[in-house]
Chain A
Amino acid sequence: MKDRTIRVTPPLSEEEVRAMRAGERVSITGVIYTARDAAHKRLVEASQRGEPLPVDLAGQIIYYVGPCPARPGQAIGSAGPTTSGRMDTYAPTLIELGLRAMLGKGLRSPAVVEAMKRHGSVYLAATGGAGALLARQIMRADVIAYPDLGPEAIHRLEVRDFPAIVAIDTLGNDMYAEGKRRYARPQK
């Protein structure tokens, strides 16, 4: 079943993400939100103070990206995934608030994977360093919160056929660990 591509449009249901398996391809069409280090810090601090968040995260996908500025006539500049691990401190709080998927690249902490299993959230990977290629799947970008953060502001993105791979599923299966195991050779 690993060759099938799952087409999704947020908001995602818990059943939908719990059915995904590590290694499967996902194609996203619709609205997703960006956030990276500084925006995560503000979201979590706002949540701890009991304030409403600038975006309702229930069922949504957060894309870990700080895009380049758009040239005139472009929707967005280069926009590939940043290293997800830096968001590990904050991710469990957002998952508890209903975040259904995180889109980034790289390793996650055991605490994040635990939260994903418990609340039904999935970790998707886009190809790191393919920012010019991935920008072609982003049709529109608008800053909707924290504009003072510049590239770290929260953007609302309209994407079409945005490609990703399920890196870690809701059972804790990890494509990074599995892929490495398959190709590792004993060290001499």
Chain B
Amino acid sequence: MREIHVRSVTEAVRDLCLTANCDLPPDVAAALARAREAEESPLGKQILEELLENAAIARQDRMPMCQDTGVVHVFVELGQDVHLTGGHLKAAIDEGVRQGYEAGYLRKSVVDDPIFRRANTQDNTPAIVYIDIVPGDRLSLAVVPKGTGSENMSGLKLLTPAQGARGIRDFVVEVVDRAGSNPCPPVVVGVGVGGMMDRAALLSKKALLREVGTAHPDPSTAALEREILQAVNDLGIGPAGLGGRITALAVHIETAPTHIGALPVAVNLQCHAARHAERML
């Protein structure tokens, strides 16, 4: 049994909020640089150049890359041999978000009651927290600030098994096509397949945590990722949606076992900043 004081969770979340918003992750920066070389549209190339310049300013001036600093998602992997002391885990995470968003001059974008009041909570809490219990005595945190530009363009469909890989491909292409310029392309496309409706949706978001452009370990799934990426880039939407070859930087599929009668597919779009930051305690 290893003891971890929740204070260190608060500190980590605070730092990760700042890093995720101000420092373009190296994998995403590399993907954008490759896209700039590959893009055939002169305007698209210029936009990719602007995005890399924007990332450099953000890093240097400690300014968020995008004014939509999002709702903070925190993915926790909690080793079952960890004993948390000093308070409640979710409260400690929210305190980290509160401190990070204040210290970093980040926009507070959370409203309380979604239907009627829609009053800003003023400190960007609560975060959306997912906790997995895993073997071991470590605690890992992945922070993903997610804005609505991309999130609002996401989609979910409950396919039938007969629709198979082709149905998955067609649905992903349909979602990206309908999204057009709205989600700030070039996007990262997170695809969750399997489980039930809720599991597919969560997998599609977790797919965004994977290092951009790395393939799924299963060769057939990896081949489907490549096929969908090609199809999406053939749409011609391009950087900022103004036309071009690079509509998506990557397609990441995550899968889970499902029911004999089910093939749920969720598509979570992520903008070109693809913000994420991780720490292990």
Contact = CB atoms under 8 A, between A and B. Distances in A.
B242 A79 contact: no
A130 B48 CA distance: 10
Contact of A176 (B109, B230, B242, B273): B242
A150 interface: yes
B156 interface: no
B66 A187 contact: no
B113 interface: no
Main secondary structure of the interface of B (DSSP, over half): loop
A79 B67 contact: yes
B51 A129 contact: yes
Interface string A67-78: 111110000011
A127 interface: yes
Contacts of A149: 120
A147 to B, nearest CB: 12
Contacts of B106: 68-69
Nearest to A67: B67
Contact of B237 (A66, A77, A127, A180): A180
B50 A78 contact: no
Interface string A140-184: 000000000111000000000000010100000001101111111
A103 interface: no
B63 interface: yes
Contacts of B182: 83, 85, 105-107
A178 to B, nearest CB: 7
Pairs of residues from A and B, 8 with the lowest C-beta to C-beta distance, nearest first: A179-B243, A184-B236, A183-B236, A106-B182, A128-B184, A133-B54, A185-B234, A78-B67
Given A68-B106, A71-B63, A180-B180, 16 more contacts: A68-B63, A78-B58, A106-B180, A107-B181, A129-B51, A130-B53, A131-B63, A131-B64, A135-B63, A150-B120, A150-B122, A179-B238, A180-B237, A183-B238, A187-B231, A188-B231
Interface of B: 40-41, 43, 47, 50-51, 53-54, 57-58, 61-69, 105-109, 118, 120, 122, 148-149, 152, 173, 180-182, 184, 230-231, 234-238, 240-245, 271-273
